[in-house]
Structure formats: structure tokens, C-alpha cells
Structure 1
Amino acid sequence: MSRHKRATPNRSLKVADQIQRDLAALIAREVRDPRVSLVTLTGVEVTPDYAHAKVFFTTLNPDVAGTSAGLQAAAGHLRHFLFKRLHIHTVPELHFVHDQSVGHGIEMARLIDQANAHRAVED
């Protein structure tokens, strides 16, 4: 029994990775909503019972709220396609969450460049 418990977290990671790969392809091919453009999936977290999945995304589209709404509107449709692809008993309900870490990283890089430029002027 202890062997099964050790394997479970690894399986969850594999399922999350597979969901991310499949969703990336499905969004590009199946979602026709104009609000959903320039989307990159950055990660998926699946609950232990596979009932829910948080799907983290970034977008170059300035209307993040619109992109999020478009993805959420397509969630049922995408889940239907996932059901055909995944070989698990329960296909999770999809919840799309904007991943702000990329934007924060870009802002930090900009601030560092600005501080370095300011320092170069003072020297």
C-alpha cells in the first residue's frame, strides 16, 4: 500500500502535464473566440481527486479579462475534447487563472535596467 501512495503524486504531475499539452493544442485548434489569442499555458495544477484543474495562462493580448472570459466560456468544450484524449476516470473541471509571474518578471527586469542606467549616469 505504501508503494501506491508514493506513486500518486507522480501520477498527478503526469496527468497535469498531459492536460497542459493537450489543452495547448486544443486551444489553438478548437477555440474560435477572438478574445482567445496569443495564449500560452504556463502550468496546470490538478486536485488529488482529479475533479478540478487550475490552468495557468499568459497572454500578449492587453485584454486579459477578455481572454480569461473567453477561455472560461470554452472550458466545457475543451473538457469534452480532453475526455476523448485522456485515459483517466474523471476529467477535471477547468478553471483558467492568469499567471502574472511573467509580467512581474518583465517589470522587475525593466526596473533593474532603469536602475543600472541611472547608476551609469551618476558615475
Structure 2
Amino acid sequence: MLQIENAILKIEERASSFHSADDFLKTPFGMAMLDAICMQFIAIGESLKGLDKITNNELLTTHPEIPWKRIKGLRDIVAHHYFEIDIDVIWWILSNELQPLKKAIISMLSDLSE
């Protein structure tokens, strides 16, 4: 789970200088950051799939407010349909779903360390 937290931190850092979905598309640097962010989404999805498997689908259910299935599905979309990615969807995820995911991961890490 530390890997997931680190991936979220990388996404936050890489997205911090952008203020809209279109900002990514304006420069080669923006496109490179989008690529880097998408790689981290792949890593998060893959890690979640592994966690779900080794915990017999029990750990993620402790935070039902998180759309785990959609997050794992994003990994598949980015990995297998990269040229079909909708930047507006990625921006929406960055703006609306990243912080709740981070909060849930930090909470789970805290619970596991107790």
C-alpha cells in the first residue's frame, strides 16, 4: 500500500502545475506529464488488483465510498486503450477522486500499522 500512496504523491506532484485538462495538451511537457500520470494510474490499479487478491477481497471493502472497481478498470483502459483516453475524464479523476483515494489509503495504512 505504500506503493499506492507513493504513486498518488507522484501524481499530485506531476499534476500540480496544471489547472485544466487542456493545459496538458498545450505543450510537449504537458503531454509528458500526462503520460507519467497515466503510468502511475496503471501502477495503482495493478497494486489494487494484487491487494484485493491477497486479502480475499476483504481489505478494499473497508472503504466502500471508494469506487475500487472503477479505479482498477482505469488501469485496464490506460494500459490497453491508451489512444482512446479522454483527457477530460483524467482531469475529473485528478480533481475529484484522487484525494478521497489518498485519504482511504492513508487510513488503511494506519489501520494496518496498529
| Structure 1 and Structure 2 fold alike (TM over 0.5) | no
Between structures 1 and 2, the one with greater helix share: 2
**Shorter-chain TM-score range:** 0.3 to 0.5
TM-score calculated relative to the size of structure 2: 0.33
**RCO higher in 1 or 2 (8 Å CA, sep ≥ 6)?**
2
Between structures 1 and 2, the one with greater strand share: 1
TM-score calculated relative to the size of structure 1: 0.31
